[in-house]
Amino acid sequence: MNSRLPDPEEFAAVCAADGELRLAVRHWTGGLRLEAGRRCTGFTVADGQITAGVPEPGEGVVTITGPEEVWAPLLAPVQPRFAQVSVLTASGEAGLQRGLTDPLLWWQYLPAVKRAVELLRAPGPAEEAAILETGPVPRHDSPVGRYVHVELDGSDHRVYYEEAGAGIPVLLQHTAGANSLQYRHLFEAPEITRRFRLIAYDLPYHGKSVPPVQQRWWEREYRLEGGFLRQVPRALARALNLDRPVFMGCSVGGLLALDLALCHPEEFRAVVSLEGALHIPGDREAFLGFWHPQVSNHAKAALMEELCSPTAPQPYVKEVSQVYASGWPPSFWGDLYYYLADFDIRDRAGEIDTDLTAVHIMNGEHDFSGTVTAGLDAHRAIAGSTHTVMEDVGHFPMQENPEAFIRYLLPVLELIEARSH
C-alpha cells in the first residue's frame, strides 16, 4: 500500500484546481502541512488563494504529522474500515497528531483538511453504486406532508411529518441535528410501502418543526433530554390514531428505539434501532466546533461525511452533509446531550421484554460511533432481539446507501409483519 505523500508542487496544483477545496479555504491565511515520516507536503494559503510551498508550523497553519504506516491506509483509493478516524481526530490515539495547531483553527478549516486528504489519494474504481433518482420529469415523489399540533411538556408544538404507504404504521426518527429528509428513499420503495405506512417526522427545533411560540426558547441553551424525547413519538402516535406502531430511528433515534422498548413497551409492537447501542461513550465538550460562533455549519457537515462508508455513492454522502449544514446550529450540539450524556441503559437493558416489543438492532460496518461491537453488546443484553451487520454502510444507512439499506431492512420488516398477524 502506498504511504508516500505527493510532491508539494504537484499537490498544491491539484488542490488549487479543486472546486470543493477552493470553497473550503475561503478567508484562510496560513496553510496545510502534512508530515509522513521524513516526507512532507502541503500548500500555502493567502486569503483563500492556494499557492505552492509547504508552510512552516505557526500561526494559521494546520499541521498533521505521523509515521508512514499510519498514513498508508488513508492514501488507499478505498480506505479500510475506520481509517478516516485518524485524520478527523488527529489526537495521537490513532497515530496522527495535529502538531501545534490551534483547536479553533482546526474546526474552522476541518472541511478543507478533509478534502485535501481526499486529494492525496490515487483515483479509486469508477463509482457503480446505484443512484435511485430515475423517471420522467416533472414528477411527484410519494410522500405527502402535513403539520400536527401536539402537547409536549405542557406546550403546544407544531410538528411536521410526511407519510406514504399503507398497512402497519412505522414512525421514522432522524439522526441528531438532522431532519426527516433522511428517509426520502424509503418512501419510493414499493416493496415497503405496499405493506407499511411510513411516517417520518422532524423533531421539535429541527427541519420544519418550529419551536413552541409559548416559550422564550431563544433565551436558553437547547438541550435534548430523554424525558422530552420519549414524548414525541408517543404523542404523534396518539394524534394520528396509530395502533401500536413500529418505531424506527437512527443514531439518536436508534438509542430512542431501545429507550421506548424499555420504558413504553405497551405502546409499540416493534422497534428498529439503527446504529443502536446501550451507551455511546464520548465527551460532548470535545466537539468545540459543533456550536461555536467562529465555526460554520460546514465543519460538522464535513465530519458527518466521514461517518459514511467509503463505498457509498458520493451524491448521497454529500446530501448527508447538506442536511447537517442547513440545520439550526444549536440543534446538533443540543441533541448530543441525549446521545452522549443522558442515555445509558447498560444496567437496565435486560429488563426489555421482547415478547411485548420486538427489538431489531442494525449497525453499519463503517460506523465508528454506533459501532457493530456496540450493537452486538446491546443484542446480547436484550434477550430475544435480532442483530444485523450492514456491509458497505456507515452511520446514515437510509440516506448514504439506500439501496444497500433496503436489502438489509426487508428481512426485518418481514419478521415484524409475520408477528403482527
pTM, whole model, 2 decimals?
0.94
**Contact at 8 Å (CB) between 36 and 4?**
yes
Listed as ranges, residues in the chain with pLDDT below 70 are: 1-3, 84-94, 122-130
* CA contacts within 13 A on the Cβ side of 118: 14
Beta strands in 100-241 (DSSP E): 144-152, 155-164, 168-173, 196-201
**pLDDT at residue 126, as a whole number:** 44
Which residues partner with 25 through β-bridges? none
Cα(174)–Cα(182) distance, rounded to whole angstroms? 7
138 cis-preceded (ω within 30 degrees of 0): yes
Closest to 160 in 3D by CA, of 176, 174, 141: 174
Q: Residue 44 is placed in which grid cell?
A: 500555502
* CA contacts within 13 A on the Cβ side of 402: 20
Closest to 141 in 3D by CA, of 184, 88, 195, 196: 184
**pLDDT at residue 1, as a whole number:** 43
Cα(108)–Cα(296) distance, rounded to whole angstroms? 7
SS3 content of the chain, % helix, strand, coil (to 5): 40, 20, 40
Q: Which residue has the cell 432481539?
A: 385
Residues in the chain: 421
**Contact at 8 Å (CB) between 67 and 95?**
yes
- Each residue's pLDDT tens digit, 87-143: 666 555 557 888 778 989 999 999 999 999 999 886 655 455 567 788 899 999 999
Cα(66)–Cα(334) distance, rounded to whole angstroms? 34
Measured at the alpha carbon of residue 24, what is the angle toward residues 20 and 29, in degrees to the nearest 5?
135
User: Whole-number mean pLDDT of the chain?
Assistant: 92
Task: Provide DSSP, 28-89.
Answer: --EEEEEEETTEEEEEEEETTEEES-PPPSSTTEEEEEE-HHHHHHHTSSSPPTTTTHHHHH
**pLDDT at residue 68, as a whole number:** 87
Q: How far is CA 91 from the centre of its chain?
A: 21
User: Is residue 173 helix, strand or coil?
Assistant: strand
Task: Provide DSSP, 206-235.
Answer: STT-PPPTTS-GGGS-----HHHHTHHHHH
User: Is residue 146 helix, strand or coil?
Assistant: strand
**pLDDT at residue 77, as a whole number:** 80
Cα(369)–Cα(412) distance, rounded to whole angstroms? 22
**pLDDT at residue 98, as a whole number:** 82
Helices (H) and strands (E) in the chain, counts: 17, 12
- Neighbour order of strands in the sheet with 30-36: 49-51, 39-46, 30-36, 61-66
